[in-house]
Amino acid sequence: MSFLYQRTIRLQDTDAAGVVYFANLLSICHEAYEAALAAAGVDLRAFFQGNLAIPIVHAEIDYFQPLFCGETYQISVIPTVLNPLPERPLDKFKIQYDLRQAEQLVSRASTVHLCIDVASRSRQPLPADIQRWLNPIKP
């Protein structure tokens, strides 16, 4: 299951050459992730409050061609569960982001997220609304 997000590259996203600054594309992917959560009914305000956090523990990105200011791209947000063992609580997932323009793959990124207790930094099960978001695509 994936979520599609459309994004036009803005001047603030680019470097002096007018192409996306490498680190800004991960911010754009994160914007798509937030939109996917909101579209799934996750209360984003509540998501960032409380005793749990879901930080990114790994990120990577490949660029297959430059992304230019003023151009619009489709971003597929494709989450997958990373807890294959049934006896282990669901606490980790990966999101792949495929960026396309006119059906051509121009970049691919991924982020890995881990749910932790804010105070102790210990692993915790994901909140129910995030598990519901992930459930349709459980392996």
- Candidates 15, 43, 62, 117; catalytic one: 15
Dihedral sign for Cα atoms in the order 7, 9, 14, 17: positive
Residue 137 clears pLDDT 70, i.e. is over it: no
Domains and CATH numbers, the chain: 3-137 (3.10.129.10)
Question: By C-alpha distance, which of 81, 92, 95 is closest to 29?
Answer: 95
Q: Which token pair is 108?
A: 């691919």
**129 included as an active-site residue:** no
Please report the pLDDT score of residue 11 as a whole number: 95
For residue range 27-56, list pLDDT tens digits in order.
999 999 999 999 999 888 887 778 899 999
Q: How far is CA 51 from CA 2, 115, 117, 134, in A?
A: 28, 10, 6, 21
- Count of alpha carbons within 13 angstroms of residue 33, beta-carbon side: 24
